């Protein structure tokens, strides 16, 4: 398998910016790895609207893989403590308990695929952890996979 796995978050992005990032990267499929894909704060990224927009605006397929989402308990603990090290440890343990590496079909990730979550940046987001975990596993099996995080260009402050 040869693949480019992108990651993207929808917060702090307009719909135009979100879809342009995906189109410019030539993403063919978006895999939603959020636990709650219908939250009221999701805006244009709320399901089923997102699947419709991806198809109609960008010709991108939509898939949902909740097995790759954090549990509410892990998310709540992080919100309380802001301890990213503990979040990462708990999340990776959850992935091991769910036997994700055996459960997830690698063929879902062929070509140019993007993992979706809400966080604007990948640094402290589970989508980065998922991408790294899958790439490490599949690379050890001889697959060529590259990870790229789609982010908005840094904005410069306006001069008065």
Average pLDDT rounded to a whole number, residues 133-160? 83
pLDDT digits (tens, 9 = 90+) for 5-29: 999 999 999 999 999 999 999 999 9
Residue 27 in any domain: the answer is yes
Residue 144 in any domain: the answer is yes
Is 80 exceeded by the pLDDT of residue 156? no
The full length of the chain comes to 160
Structural domain count of the chain: 1
Q: Domain range holding 34?
A: 2-149
pLDDT digits (tens, 9 = 90+) for 66-124: 999 999 999 999 999 999 999 999 999 999 999 999 999 999 999 999 999 999 999 99
pLDDT band at 155 (very low <50, low <70, confident <90, very high): low
The CATH code of the domain that includes 20 is 3.40.1010
User: Average pLDDT over the chain, rounded to whole?
Assistant: 93
Residue 21 in any domain: the answer is yes
Residue 137: name the closest of 115, 104, 110 by CA: 104
Answer yes or no: are the C-beta atoms of 47 and 32 closer than 8 Å. yes
Q: Which residues pair with 146 in a beta bridge?
A: 4
Is 90 exceeded by the pLDDT of residue 42? no
Contacts of 10 (CB under 8 A, 6+ apart): 18, 42, 43, 44, 45, 116, 118
Residue 15 in any domain: the answer is yes
């Amino acid at each position: 398998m040869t693949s480019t796995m992108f990651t993207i978050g929808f917060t702090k992005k307009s719909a135009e910016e979100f879809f342009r990032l995906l189109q410019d990267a030539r993403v063919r499929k978006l895999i939603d790895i959020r636990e709650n894909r219908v939250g009221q704060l999701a805006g244009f990224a709320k399901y089923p609207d997102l699947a419709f927009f991806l198809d109609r605006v960008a010709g991108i397929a939509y898939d949902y893989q909740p097995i790759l989402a954090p549990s509410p308990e892990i998310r709540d603990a992080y919100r309380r403590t802001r301890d990213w090290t503990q979040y990462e440890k708990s999340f990776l343990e959850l992935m091991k308990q769910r036997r994700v590496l055996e459960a997830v079909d690698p063929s879902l990730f062929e070509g140019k695929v993007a993992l979706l979550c809400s966080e604007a940046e990948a640094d402290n987001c589970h989508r980065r952890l998922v991408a790294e975990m899958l790439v490490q596993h599949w690379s050890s099996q001889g697959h060529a996979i590259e990870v790229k995080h789609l982010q908005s260009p840094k904005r410069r402050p306006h001069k008065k």
